Amino acid sequence: MMKRMTFIALVLTSLLGCTLPQAIPSPAPTALLPTALPPTAIVPIPSATSVPPIFTPTPPPTWTSTPLPGFCSDSRVAGLFGAFAGALAAANGDALAALISPLNGVDVRFIRDGRVVNYDRAHFAAVFASTYQVEWGLAPGSGLPMIGSFQEIILPSLRIVFTPSAHLTCNQIKLGGATYAAAWPAEYTTVNFYSVHFPGTDQYGGMDWQTWLTGVEMESGQPLLRVLLHFAWEP
Protein backbone atom coordinates (compact mmCIF):
# COMPACT_ATOMS: atom_id res chain seq x y z
CA MET A 1 0.00 0.00 0.00
CA MET A 2 2.82 2.37 0.93
CA LYS A 3 4.58 1.67 -2.38
CA ARG A 4 1.38 2.52 -4.31
CA MET A 5 0.93 5.83 -2.44
CA THR A 6 4.56 6.72 -3.04
CA PHE A 7 4.16 6.06 -6.77
CA ILE A 8 1.06 8.31 -7.00
CA ALA A 9 2.86 11.07 -5.12
CA LEU A 10 5.80 10.91 -7.51
CA VAL A 11 3.46 11.16 -10.51
CA LEU A 12 1.65 14.21 -9.07
CA THR A 13 4.96 15.90 -8.26
CA SER A 14 6.14 15.34 -11.81
CA LEU A 15 2.93 16.79 -13.29
CA LEU A 16 2.94 19.86 -11.06
CA GLY A 17 6.50 20.62 -12.04
CA CYS A 18 5.63 20.86 -15.72
CA THR A 19 4.48 24.09 -17.38
CA LEU A 20 1.00 23.67 -18.83
CA PRO A 21 0.52 24.98 -22.41
CA GLN A 22 -1.07 28.46 -22.56
CA ALA A 23 -3.94 29.21 -24.97
CA ILE A 24 -2.91 31.98 -27.41
CA PRO A 25 -5.90 33.91 -28.78
CA SER A 26 -6.12 34.07 -32.57
CA PRO A 27 -5.83 37.57 -34.04
CA ALA A 28 -9.09 39.14 -35.19
CA PRO A 29 -9.57 39.04 -38.97
CA THR A 30 -8.63 42.24 -40.73
CA ALA A 31 -11.03 43.43 -43.43
CA LEU A 32 -9.49 44.46 -46.70
CA LEU A 33 -10.33 48.01 -47.67
CA PRO A 34 -11.43 48.51 -51.27
CA THR A 35 -8.87 50.21 -53.43
CA ALA A 36 -11.53 52.15 -55.32
CA LEU A 37 -15.11 53.19 -54.80
CA PRO A 38 -17.75 51.48 -56.94
CA PRO A 39 -19.23 53.62 -59.74
CA THR A 40 -22.43 54.26 -57.80
CA ALA A 41 -20.73 55.25 -54.54
CA ILE A 42 -21.72 58.56 -52.97
CA VAL A 43 -18.62 60.63 -52.33
CA PRO A 44 -18.87 63.34 -49.62
CA ILE A 45 -18.50 66.88 -50.92
CA PRO A 46 -15.79 68.66 -48.93
CA SER A 47 -16.37 72.18 -50.19
CA ALA A 48 -17.91 74.28 -52.95
CA THR A 49 -14.62 74.20 -54.86
CA SER A 50 -15.08 70.52 -55.61
CA VAL A 51 -17.88 68.82 -57.48
CA PRO A 52 -20.75 66.56 -56.41
CA PRO A 53 -20.66 62.79 -56.91
CA ILE A 54 -20.09 61.47 -60.40
CA PHE A 55 -22.23 58.72 -61.81
CA THR A 56 -22.35 56.90 -65.11
CA PRO A 57 -25.85 56.28 -66.49
CA THR A 58 -26.80 53.16 -68.35
CA PRO A 59 -26.92 53.47 -72.16
CA PRO A 60 -30.27 55.05 -73.08
CA PRO A 61 -32.82 53.24 -75.23
CA THR A 62 -34.75 55.01 -77.97
CA TRP A 63 -36.37 58.13 -76.55
CA THR A 64 -40.13 58.58 -76.46
CA SER A 65 -41.19 62.23 -76.17
CA THR A 66 -43.68 63.41 -73.57
CA PRO A 67 -43.77 67.17 -74.27
CA LEU A 68 -45.26 69.54 -71.74
CA PRO A 69 -48.26 71.34 -73.27
CA GLY A 70 -47.25 74.87 -74.23
CA PHE A 71 -43.57 74.32 -73.46
CA CYS A 72 -42.29 75.06 -76.96
CA SER A 73 -44.27 78.31 -77.14
CA ASP A 74 -43.38 79.48 -73.62
CA SER A 75 -41.39 82.70 -73.97
CA ARG A 76 -40.02 82.25 -70.45
CA VAL A 77 -37.86 79.38 -71.69
CA ALA A 78 -36.23 81.61 -74.32
CA GLY A 79 -35.70 84.15 -71.54
CA LEU A 80 -33.99 81.44 -69.47
CA PHE A 81 -31.54 80.74 -72.28
CA GLY A 82 -30.84 84.45 -72.67
CA ALA A 83 -30.14 84.81 -68.95
CA PHE A 84 -27.90 81.75 -69.07
CA ALA A 85 -25.88 83.18 -71.97
CA GLY A 86 -25.57 86.49 -70.11
CA ALA A 87 -24.31 84.82 -66.93
CA LEU A 88 -21.75 82.86 -68.97
CA ALA A 89 -20.49 85.98 -70.71
CA ALA A 90 -20.21 87.89 -67.43
CA ALA A 91 -18.69 84.94 -65.53
CA ASN A 92 -21.33 85.55 -62.86
CA GLY A 93 -21.55 82.38 -60.79
CA ASP A 94 -24.42 83.49 -58.59
CA ALA A 95 -26.54 84.45 -61.62
CA LEU A 96 -25.67 81.14 -63.27
CA ALA A 97 -26.60 79.11 -60.19
CA ALA A 98 -29.96 80.88 -59.86
CA LEU A 99 -30.97 79.35 -63.21
CA ILE A 100 -30.70 75.68 -62.19
CA SER A 101 -33.04 73.51 -60.18
CA PRO A 102 -32.63 73.97 -56.40
CA LEU A 103 -34.11 70.49 -55.91
CA ASN A 104 -32.26 68.39 -58.47
CA GLY A 105 -29.36 70.58 -59.59
CA VAL A 106 -28.16 70.28 -63.17
CA ASP A 107 -26.65 67.20 -64.85
CA VAL A 108 -23.73 67.98 -67.18
CA ARG A 109 -22.23 65.58 -69.72
CA PHE A 110 -19.55 66.65 -72.19
CA ILE A 111 -18.70 63.39 -73.97
CA ARG A 112 -21.55 61.48 -75.62
CA ASP A 113 -20.80 58.20 -73.82
CA GLY A 114 -19.01 59.84 -70.91
CA ARG A 115 -19.75 60.64 -67.31
CA VAL A 116 -22.57 62.80 -66.07
CA VAL A 117 -21.70 65.22 -63.27
CA ASN A 118 -24.46 66.68 -61.12
CA TYR A 119 -23.98 70.20 -59.76
CA ASP A 120 -26.11 71.74 -57.05
CA ARG A 121 -26.47 75.52 -56.83
CA ALA A 122 -23.51 76.02 -54.49
CA HIS A 123 -21.14 74.10 -56.75
CA PHE A 124 -22.51 75.60 -59.95
CA ALA A 125 -21.85 79.08 -58.58
CA ALA A 126 -18.18 78.11 -58.17
CA VAL A 127 -17.50 76.81 -61.69
CA PHE A 128 -15.75 79.99 -62.83
CA ALA A 129 -13.18 79.66 -60.03
CA SER A 130 -12.99 75.94 -59.28
CA THR A 131 -9.97 74.03 -60.58
CA TYR A 132 -11.35 70.63 -59.56
CA GLN A 133 -10.26 68.09 -62.19
CA VAL A 134 -13.05 65.89 -63.55
CA GLU A 135 -12.57 62.82 -65.73
CA TRP A 136 -15.36 63.39 -68.25
CA GLY A 137 -14.81 60.16 -70.17
CA LEU A 138 -12.76 58.88 -73.09
CA ALA A 139 -12.14 61.42 -75.82
CA PRO A 140 -13.45 60.43 -79.27
CA GLY A 141 -10.64 59.56 -81.64
CA SER A 142 -7.76 59.24 -79.20
CA GLY A 143 -9.62 57.13 -76.65
CA LEU A 144 -7.64 58.85 -73.89
CA PRO A 145 -9.31 60.11 -70.70
CA MET A 146 -10.44 63.72 -70.99
CA ILE A 147 -9.62 65.34 -67.67
CA GLY A 148 -10.09 68.97 -66.76
CA SER A 149 -12.08 71.44 -64.71
CA PHE A 150 -15.47 72.82 -65.68
CA GLN A 151 -13.89 76.13 -66.66
CA GLU A 152 -11.32 74.37 -68.86
CA ILE A 153 -13.59 71.88 -70.63
CA ILE A 154 -17.22 72.98 -70.38
CA LEU A 155 -17.24 76.79 -70.30
CA PRO A 156 -15.50 77.41 -73.65
CA SER A 157 -18.05 75.22 -75.43
CA LEU A 158 -21.06 76.76 -73.64
CA ARG A 159 -19.87 80.25 -74.59
CA ILE A 160 -19.53 79.26 -78.24
CA VAL A 161 -22.99 77.70 -78.44
CA PHE A 162 -25.13 79.93 -76.21
CA THR A 163 -25.14 83.10 -78.29
CA PRO A 164 -27.95 85.19 -79.86
CA SER A 165 -27.26 83.43 -83.17
CA ALA A 166 -27.76 79.91 -81.76
CA HIS A 167 -30.28 77.64 -83.52
CA LEU A 168 -33.00 76.56 -81.09
CA THR A 169 -35.14 73.47 -81.76
CA CYS A 170 -37.76 72.38 -79.23
CA ASN A 171 -37.97 68.71 -78.17
CA GLN A 172 -35.95 67.58 -81.17
CA ILE A 173 -32.29 66.69 -81.48
CA LYS A 174 -30.49 68.89 -84.01
CA LEU A 175 -26.91 67.97 -84.90
CA GLY A 176 -24.43 68.72 -87.65
CA GLY A 177 -22.74 65.96 -89.61
CA ALA A 178 -22.51 63.02 -87.21
CA THR A 179 -21.17 59.47 -87.40
CA TYR A 180 -23.59 58.28 -84.71
CA ALA A 181 -27.26 58.31 -83.78
CA ALA A 182 -28.20 60.52 -80.83
CA ALA A 183 -31.03 59.93 -78.37
CA TRP A 184 -32.51 61.85 -75.46
CA PRO A 185 -31.74 59.60 -72.43
CA ALA A 186 -34.61 57.61 -70.98
CA GLU A 187 -33.94 58.85 -67.45
CA TYR A 188 -35.01 62.33 -68.61
CA THR A 189 -38.15 61.24 -70.47
CA THR A 190 -40.34 63.60 -68.44
CA VAL A 191 -37.97 66.54 -69.01
CA ASN A 192 -38.61 68.79 -72.01
CA PHE A 193 -35.58 70.10 -73.85
CA TYR A 194 -34.20 72.34 -76.56
CA SER A 195 -31.36 71.65 -78.95
CA VAL A 196 -29.11 74.70 -78.72
CA HIS A 197 -27.03 74.31 -81.87
CA PHE A 198 -23.93 76.01 -83.24
CA PRO A 199 -23.65 75.03 -86.94
CA GLY A 200 -19.89 75.42 -87.16
CA THR A 201 -17.76 77.65 -89.35
CA ASP A 202 -16.97 77.81 -93.06
CA GLN A 203 -13.28 77.59 -92.18
CA TYR A 204 -13.75 73.97 -91.07
CA GLY A 205 -16.60 73.10 -93.41
CA GLY A 206 -19.05 73.01 -90.53
CA MET A 207 -17.20 70.10 -88.89
CA ASP A 208 -16.72 72.20 -85.74
CA TRP A 209 -20.47 72.20 -85.00
CA GLN A 210 -21.65 71.69 -81.44
CA THR A 211 -25.02 71.07 -79.81
CA TRP A 212 -26.08 71.27 -76.18
CA LEU A 213 -29.31 69.44 -75.44
CA THR A 214 -30.72 71.59 -72.67
CA GLY A 215 -33.37 70.03 -70.43
CA VAL A 216 -35.72 72.40 -68.62
CA GLU A 217 -37.90 71.72 -65.58
CA MET A 218 -40.75 73.90 -64.37
CA GLU A 219 -40.63 74.52 -60.62
CA SER A 220 -43.27 76.77 -59.07
CA GLY A 221 -44.07 78.01 -62.56
CA GLN A 222 -40.46 78.99 -63.27
CA PRO A 223 -38.34 77.31 -65.99
CA LEU A 224 -34.98 76.10 -64.68
CA LEU A 225 -32.07 74.22 -66.23
CA ARG A 226 -31.97 70.53 -65.35
CA VAL A 227 -29.81 68.84 -68.03
CA LEU A 228 -26.88 69.88 -70.25
CA LEU A 229 -25.71 67.20 -72.72
CA HIS A 230 -23.02 67.98 -75.27
CA PHE A 231 -22.74 66.58 -78.80
CA ALA A 232 -20.08 67.27 -81.43
CA TRP A 233 -18.50 65.70 -84.49
CA GLU A 234 -16.64 62.46 -83.81
CA PRO A 235 -14.16 60.69 -86.13
All structural domains of the chain with their residue ranges: 71-180+192-232
Mean pLDDT of the chain: 79
Q: Are 153 and 133 in contact (CB under 8 A)?
A: no
Partners of 117 in the β-ladder: 54, 108
| Average confidence (pLDDT) over 175-196 | 94
pLDDT at 23: 40
- The pLDDT assigned to 30 comes to 31
Q: CA separation (Å) from 163 to 93, 157, 216? A: 18, 11, 18
How far apart are alpha carbons 216 and 83 in whole angstroms? 14
> Starting from the edge strand earliest in sequence, which strands make up the sheet with 54-55, in order?
54-55, 116-119, 106-109, 222-232, 210-219, 192-198, 167-170
pLDDT-derived band of residue 1, with 50, 70 and 90 as boundaries?
A: low
Whether pLDDT at 183 is above 50: yes
Percent of the chain with pLDDT over 90: 65
Tell me which of 10-14, 26-30, 47-51, 171-175 is least confident: 26-30
| Higher-pLDDT residue of 63, 78 | 78
What is the average pLDDT across 119-131? 96
Check if the beta carbon of residue 178 is closer than 8 Å to that of residue 211: no
pLDDT of residue 69: 62
Decide the pairing of beta strands 145-148 and 134-138. antiparallel
* 3-class SS of residue 109: strand
Higher pLDDT, 34 or 114: 114
Domain 71-180+192-232 maps to which CATH number in 3.40.50, 3.30.1240, 3.10.450, 3.30.1360? 3.10.450
Q: For residues 14-31, give the mean pLDDT.
A: 39
